[in-house]
Amino acid sequence: MWLIAVAVPLLPTIILLSSRYRVKVATLCRQAVAWALKLVRGKVCVRRTHAFVFSQCTHGKVDSILETFDLYAKTHPSLCIGPEIGEALDEVVRRVSPSRVLELGMHCGYTSVRLLRLLPPAGRLITVELDPLTAELGEEIILVAGFKHSQFQVLTSSSAEAISTLHLNIEPNSQTSEGFSLVLMDHDPQQYLPDLLALEREELLCPSGCSVLLINRSQRAEGLRETLDHIRARADFYFVKTELQFMVEVFYQREITV
């Protein structure tokens, strides 16, 4: 909106300049657009989303937090998965009823809150976020929602790094860990496959069954396709359970339980 307000009075100058310096102006415009996109899609978005939710929601009320995120996303660019994917996710969480969940790519904390509200009392979420500011703001949202540090842990690192240390994080006091029964991937899709393989190698996927949810954000669909190709070639342990445009559920099972 403000762009238009600024641009209209400048229009005659822009037209005059553009006929004289057509190429230069085009380059400048492209740069301006790139800059504006970066501004709205980058860290600024995370800060603004956080500030809006923090100030507008009712603290301690999970539903209010989710609604406030959705309200913000109606008028602003946002990385929240939103109510539509959210409901598909809820359905999986209710069905799997996981005691340990791993989330790769925390963003604003929306999905973390959504997941945590459906976990059993002893359930635990480990969420991984590469960007330190995003991780800090997301963690604050989880706390604002009323969840305790005994229920979740935020790891600020790359997903690969986090996976290599997860054994220490999930069961610090136990030798026999069952691993995760739900993993949600919403980070860089180029990492989906290497991270899935690393989780398998580290025996972090629950052998009696683990649902791996792969979020599909339309701009970056290639990494997802590669992951699915691999999964289809590994019919021994994996199968694609549901394939929605925005979310794919893959099921991993190593031991058949009777």
Binding site for ligand NAG (CB under 6 A): 216, 218, 221, 224, 228, 243, 245, 248
CB of 79 to ligand NAG, least distance (A): 16
Q: Which is nearer to ligand NAG, 52 or 252 (CB)?
A: 252
CB of 18 to ligand NAG, least distance (A): 34
Q: How many residues does the chain have?
A: 258
Q: Which is nearer to ligand NAG, 69 or 192 (CB)?
A: 192
Q: Which is nearer to ligand NAG, 181 or 227 (CB)?
A: 227
CB of 216 to ligand NAG, least distance (A): 4
Q: How far apart are CA 1 and CA 114, in angstroms?
A: 32
* Closest residue by beta carbon to ligand NAG: 218
CB of 63 to ligand NAG, least distance (A): 29
Q: Which is nearer to ligand NAG, 66 or 89 (CB)?
A: 89
Q: How far apart are CA 108 and CA 91, in angstroms?
A: 21
Q: How far apart are CA 135 and CA 8, in angstroms?
A: 39
What distance, in Å, lies between the first and last C-alpha atoms of the chain? 60
Facing residues of 249 across strands? 213, 242
CB of 248 to ligand NAG, least distance (A): 6
DSSP 116-163: HTTS-TT-EEEEEESSHHHHHHHHHHHHHTT--TTTEEEEES-HHHHH
Output the six-digit token pair for 193.
Answer: 């496959």
CB of 213 to ligand NAG, least distance (A): 12
Q: How far apart are CA 38 and CA 159, in angstroms?
A: 23
Q: Which is nearer to ligand NAG, 77 or 207 (CB)?
A: 77
Q: Which is nearer to ligand NAG, 117 or 217 (CB)?
A: 217
Q: How far apart are CA 63 and CA 121, in angstroms?
A: 18
In which residue are the tokens 């209010």 written? 64
